[in-house]
Structures are given as structure tokens and as C-alpha cells.
Structure 1
Amino acid sequence: MKYLFLARAVTLLALFIAVPNSLAAKWKAQHVVLIGMDGWGAYSVEKADIPNIKNLMENGAYTLKKRSALPSSSAINWASMFMGAGPELHGYTEWGSKTPEIPSRELNQHGIFPTIFQVLRDAAPKAEIGCMYEWDGIKYLVDTLALSYYQQAPDYNKYPTALCDMAINYLKEKRPVLTLVAFDNPDHVGHAAGHDTPEYYAKLKELDGFIGQIIQATKDAGIFDDTIFILTSDHGGINKGHGGKTLNEMETPFIICGKNIQKGLNFSESMMQYDVASTIAYIFGLKQPQVWIGRPMKQVFK
């Protein structure tokens, strides 16, 4: 017990050093873990064997009707998730956009549209902020210069547990303020075997196990009680593709659970992809850039 107390004391001391006490006092939680699963359609949740995810839903707040920006493809929607605005403003318009096809309406000091990572960095210059991902395209959208750490996992086909292992080690070692873990599945399975197939649901079950391990890592790190978990996706899919205007392609889950979050709330208010960044900004008491159009989902908080 004394070792657990000592670990928590060290955690609090490290956070105090990294983040001014006056700022941290305004936060809904001292840690946010954002987990994204590429190609995870909301249509799948009811049928999937995903006990860890469903436990977050039961003990937190959620909607299965968050809509992607159009087209319902990857880069445009990861960008919208991180940048608090749609493609008309951030300028990333295609599946694999690495730079904006439309000039961004505004650029930050790093020459990229303002992201949640940089907004937090501006407010807390010494905060630990990290990003781990499988799809190479993520690094073009997060503003890596705003991060303390970022790393792509090795080939999933050879090392399927690598990203989960990286996230576990990072959470235990650094106890970050904001962490992004971006899984590239179930998108690959959706393209190969199809959405709403046995293979697709098997992949969701596997990822659910990874999510359980990531949650456990926050417990091992002594930060679980002061953490908010957000679980969401860039887009869904239909048959073996996505990018269109069907609800199976556009509707994705948004699940939020943890400190100061309502329990068992299936909220009915509309939510868009860019509202994710605004909700994280609200957790940390940040003023969002004027160019953002996202709205925080204030109803999910106690």
C-alpha cells in the first residue's frame, strides 16, 4: 500500500511541475486518453462482443449518431477530429491528404491549422502530450511539433499487439496529460472482408481486448481515477468501402467515461466529428480558436 501511495505522490508532483496549479485546477480531469478506431461504424456496436467498450458506455456517456464530415474518409475526418473544424476550413479533403488541398483558413506557429494538441501546448507548455498510431497518415494531421512524443507502430500484420504495448508503456512511464492512440483497424478488415461480417466483428473483439489493457495501464500508473477516456472513430463503412453518404458510412460512436462524466447517458443532442476537439478543449478549460466551429458536448459532464 505504501508503494502505491508513493507512486501516486510522484505522479501528482510530476503533474504539478508540468502544469501550473492554477490551470490544472480548472480541468475536469488531469488526464485524457483518446482512442480512435479507423472504420468503426456505429451500426456495429449493438451486435459486437465488446465488453470493455460496453462497460465504458454503461459507466459513461455516449452517442451512436456522431456524424463524420464529408466525404466519409480517413484523413479528412481525423483532421476534423483534431482540428475542431470541417474541410471547408482546415482544407484536408481527401482520403489520404497529407497537406491541405484547399488553403487552411488559419495557420498556427507551425504552419498547420490549429489542433487540440497545440491549443493545449500553448496553455501548458510543459505538459506531456503523446500520439501513437498505426496508419502513417495520422502524423500529417496532429501537428507533431506540438507533441512531446509521437511514434508509428510497426507493421500490424507482423506485430498485432505493438500499438497496444506502446500505449501501455507510455501511459505507465510518462503519465501524460493527453494521449492519442489511433488503431488502423477495423478499416482494413472492412476493405478486405467487408463491413458487418464475422471477420469485422472478430476484429472489434480483438481491439476491445486492447482497450481493456489500456484502461488497466492507467490503473497501474495510478491515474485511472483522474482520467477521462474518449473512444471514437473517423468513419464507418458499407460493403467493402466508405466515403459515401449513407449513415452506415457517416455515423460513428462517441463514448466518454471517467472523472466528472455522467453515468449511463445516451445523449440525443447532435454531434459532429469536429466536436471531439472542442469537447477535449472544454475538459482542459481551454479557449478554442475562433476558426474552430466545434461545440463541446457539455451535457456529458456532471
Structure 2
Amino acid sequence: MKRTTYQPLILAGLICLVIGSSQTALARKGMPKHVIVIGFDGLSAKSITNGAKMPNLHKLMDEGSYTLQQRSILPSSSACNWASMFMGAGPELHGFTDWGTQTPQVEPRELNHYRNFPGIFGLYRDKAPSAEIGYIYEWGGMRYLADTLAISYCKNATLLQQENSCLNSAIKYIREKKPNLCAIIFDEPDHTGHSRGWESEEYMTKMQQLDSYLGKMVEAIKEAGIMNETVIMVVADHGGINKGHGGKTMNEMQTPLVFYGKGIKKGYRITQSTMVYDVAATIAYMLKVKQPQVWIARPITSIFK
């Protein structure tokens, strides 16, 4: 008698499990083959709402999905936030606690076989050994925040080199190598914010210049013939106020987060709460990388069609 009673319940449970698995599989279809992350250090959300002239960024926002309320972890400074963005967790777990941290100041909760806290570059390399992975940056401190041994092409295009070195390196790399995953991180408008002030005339002019860089990188992706299989992400680590950052104001903590490309909803404004470490989870979701238990990040799934 009991057997007859429970059999329908077991069958119903199995059906739900199959349906749930099928829905998950369908949700992961149509994901991009290429993810290009373009980062601008110190790009504040407030400067965008206050009229910064960035037509290329606005085009990606209008034809993609975005939020201007992405929050940094605290402190609202560089190394700890870039680390969180790539490592899917906060400083309490990965150990990078300050603006210029080069080695963890808090013991990491977990280490991978690269001897780092698990990050998206190493996780993707383990999943796709033959993938082309790029990492191009201006600020030297970025070197310590990624699994460089997992990266195919790693270049520190410092500000001391010729102007536009980072941009030119990125364009050449995208055209020639068609990376599956690439992060290109500029060290501006942070420098201008510190020297002239966030939202100063000089800061707004620098944002306009960076927007032109964004447009050129989009063109490079098109010229590489991979645009139809690419998602472009525009990210930032923190904003600023007056001539500094690191504090708890929304000007310092809120940054833009923009998604554009294959499978991304058009004209969609993200209303859910998002944190800087959710970037890693969303990249992992798109590239079908299993998220490690030690991450606290959540993929932003509402942006997908």
C-alpha cells in the first residue's frame, strides 16, 4: 500500500528533475565563444549620469544590458576590487585587501594548483586547455591579480611606454588571435581623477578619449570576424569623489557594468543588485565554467535573451 502511495511522488520528482535539467541546458545554449572584458580604472557611474560624452558606451548600453549601480567591495580601491572581479569573492576570502596589494594580506580560504585563490582565468584554462586567453593592462599592479600561468598572452603596456600602447596592443591581439577570453584594463580615468578631480573638466575629457578607445576595440572585434560570437563587457573597479577614493560614498562605490553582444538583451536595464565579484560568475556562466564553492558571486542571468 505504501509502495503504491509513494511511486507517483517519486515519478513526479524524477520528472521535475529532468525538466529542471533541460531548462538549465536550454538557458546555457546560445552563449558566446568569445568574452572581451574592457576595464577603465576609476570610471564612476555618476560621471555618466552627469553627462559625460561617451557615445560608444551609450550605444552598447542602448543595444545591450547595463546597470549604473554596480557596487565595489570595500575599500573602494583598485587591487582589492580587480581581484574580486576576477576571483568571484571578496577580500575576506581571496586576501587582497588594499589598493596596491600584491600578495594576499589575509590567508586565502582556498588555493588552486596555480597557488592562487581560484580565478576565472585559471578555471577557464582548466576547462579549455587550448583556449586563447589574453590579459593586457597598464597598471603594473594588475599582474598580481590573475593566474598569469594560465594566460596565453600577458602584456603590461605601461603608461611610461608610447601613448595608446595598451589600446594598440589590444587591437593587434584581438585581430590576430581572436581570443576566447580577454581582459583589457586601462589605468584611466583614475590618474586624471587623482590629479584633477573626479568629474572635473579634465576628467570628463579623459572619459571622452577612453570612449574613442572603446569604439576602436569594438571595430577590432568586428574586423576579426568574431562579433557575432562575442560578448563585450565594460567594467570598472571603483569611482571617486573630489581627488580620491577608497571610502563609503556612492560616488566612490558605484560603477557602470555593461554587456553587449551575442545572446544579450537589448535596451535592458539591470534592476537586480550586482556586486563587482558577480562579473567573474557571469563570465563563468557564459563560458560554461563550473563555479567553485568558495566563490560567493552570482551570475547575472537576467541579461540573457
What TM-score comes out, normalization by structure 2 length? 0.89
1:101-250 alignment runs, 5 A limit: 101-155=105-159, 159-250=162-253
Of 248, 251, 254, which aligns to 2:254? Answer: 251
- Stretches of structure 1 lacking an aligned partner (at least 5 in a row): 1-24
Aligned partner letter, 2:56: N
Deviations 1:142-189 (CA, angstroms, capped at 9, x unpaired) = 110110110011325x52211110000000110010010000000000
Matched, 1:41 2:44: yes
Asked if 2 retains the 8 angstrom alpha-carbon contact of 1:27 and 1:285, the reply is no
**SS of the counterpart of 2:76?**
coil
Shift of 1:286: 1.3
User: What per-residue deviation string (whole Å, max 9, x for no partner) do you get for residues 26-51 of structure 1?
Assistant: 56101010011000110011211000
Q: Does 1:88 align with 2:95?
A: no
1:269 alignment partner AA:
Q
State whether structure 2 residue 72 is matched by structure 1 residue 68.
Answer: yes
Q: Which residue type is aligned with residue 233 of structure 2? A: I
- Distance, in Å, in 1 between the alignment partners of 2:148 and 2:158 is 18
Question: Is the CA contact (8 Å cut-off) linking 2:137 and 2:158 kept in structure 1?
Answer: no
> What is the distance in 2 between the residues matched to 1:194 and 1:246?
15
Contact 1:41 1:237 in 2 (8 A): yes
Conserved? CA contact 2:139–2:158, under 8 Å: no
Amino acid in structure 1 at the alignment position of 2:120: I
Name the SS of the counterpart of 1:45 in structure 2: helix
Distance 2:135 2:287 in 1: 18
For residues 278 and 44 of structure 2, the distance between their equivalents in structure 1, rounded to whole angstroms, comes to 17
**Compared with structure 1, are the counterparts of its residues 119 and 27 closer, same or farther at alpha carbon in structure 2 (3 Å cutoff)?**
farther
Aligned mates of 2:286, 2:129 — CA distance in 1: 17
Distance (whole Å) between structure 1 residues aligned to residue 94 and residue 131 of structure 2 = 25
- What runs of 5+ residues in structure 2 fail to find an aligned partner? 1-27
Aligned AA (1:286): V
Q: Among the aligned pairs, what percent are the same residue? A: 53
1:282 aligns with 2:282: no
Q: Deviations over 1:214-254 (max 9, x none)?
A: 00001111001111000010000000000000000000100
Q: AA paired with 1:135?
A: W
Q: Which amino acid aligns with 1:258?
A: G
Judged with a 3 Å threshold, the aligned counterparts in structure 2 of structure 1 residues 94 and 27 are, in CA distance, closer, same or farther, namely farther
Residue correspondences, number: 277
Q: Which runs of 4+ in 1 moved over 3 A?
A: none
> 2: CA distance between counterparts of 1:56 and 1:184?
21
User: Aligned letter for 1:49?
Assistant: K
Matches of 1:237 and 1:214, distance apart in 2: 25
Contact (CA 8 Å) 2:228, 2:261: kept in 1 or not? yes
User: TM-score, normalised to structure 1's length?
Assistant: 0.90
Residue 285 of structure 1, CA deviation: 1.4
Please say if residues 27 and 284 of structure 1, whose CA atoms lie closer than 8 Å, have aligned partners that are also in contact.
Answer: no
Q: Secondary structure at the match of 1:49?
A: coil
Deviation at 1:108, TM superposition (A): 0.4
- Cα RMSD (Å): 1.0
Aligned to 2:299: 296
Q: Which amino acid aligns with 1:137?
A: G
Distance 2:84 2:237 in 1: 9
